[in-house]
Amino acid sequence: MFDDLNIEVGAGEALWVKGRNGAGKTSLLRQLCGLTRPSAGSVLWRGHDIHRKYQASADFHRSLLYLGHANNLKDELTGVENLVLGERLAGRTLDGLGAAEALARVGLSRAAWRPAGRLSQGQRRRIGLARLHVTQRPPLWILDEPFTALDDVAADALHATLEQHLVRGGIVVYTTHQPRSLAAARSHVLDLSARAAGQPQPC
């Protein structure tokens, strides 16, 4: 799907993966986070292939926060329960109070205690995004369409959160169809549709 693709993103840098529907944005993000293996080539984190050595893989997964199209929510659980149990399964510690604070930061206070199945799509997306506000924040964020289903206020708040993360030295790799580029120290744009058409790419 991707030929001659060489990307390097450092601390405090952002990569915006653009492209039409079906261009391969999600496939690329899934390869970058290790869910799928590239048929040729490798994904390196701090100089180590994420698929090769167990230690390198474990270090990578400790440093990674991936948010896909799905919000990773159980309809029967409240927002707080979803957040707490999700973080604990990821190997991070989080209690109910910390989860409630993170959910309050994405504008969910009362709704955080209702079953996720009774919430709107936008509110469900916000629960997924509340993971960006928990105490143990990994440095690498890979976000697939994070602005989807958000209203303008929530989208602006997310934009600010991503920029704060970059200022702190984090890395953000994201896809979006909205014209939102981040004011990072160095911001890369990878247009997969333009690559497919043979146009040169800046990164």
Partner 1 sequence: MLKVLTHAARRDLLLASRRSGEVLAALFFFVMVAMLYPLAVGPEPALLRSVGPGVLWATALLASMLSLGRIFGHDLVDGTLEQMLLSAEPLVAVVIGKVLAHWLITGVPLVLLTPLIALQFDLSAESVQVLAASLLIGTPVLSLVGAIGGALTLGLRGGGALVAVLVLPLYVPVLVFGAGAVGAQAGGGDFSPHLQLLGALLAASFALAPWAAAAALRIALN
- Give the residues lining the site for partner 1 (CB under 8 A): 33-37, 58, 61-62, 64, 66, 68-77, 81, 85-86, 88-91
Question: Closest CB to partner 1 among 90 and 130?
Answer: 90
User: CB of residue 59 vs partner 1: minimum separation in angstroms?
Assistant: 8
Question: Closest CB to partner 1 among 76 and 156?
Answer: 76
140 vs 169: CA distance, rounded Å? 10
Residue 170 CB-density burial (10 A; 0-12 exposed, 13-18 middle, 19+ buried): buried
End-to-end CA distance of the chain: 18
Question: Closest CB to partner 1 among 135 and 201?
Answer: 135
Q: State the amino acid at position 70 in one-letter form.
A: A
User: CB of residue 42 vs partner 1: minimum separation in angstroms?
Assistant: 15
Question: Closest CB to partner 1 among 23 and 33?
Answer: 33
Alpha helices (runs of H) in 3-120, residue ranges in sequence order: 25-32, 54-63, 79-89, 96-105
User: CB of residue 51 vs partner 1: minimum separation in angstroms?
Assistant: 11
Which residue carries 């105490």 as its tokens?
A: 135
User: CB of residue 75 vs partner 1: minimum separation in angstroms?
Assistant: 8
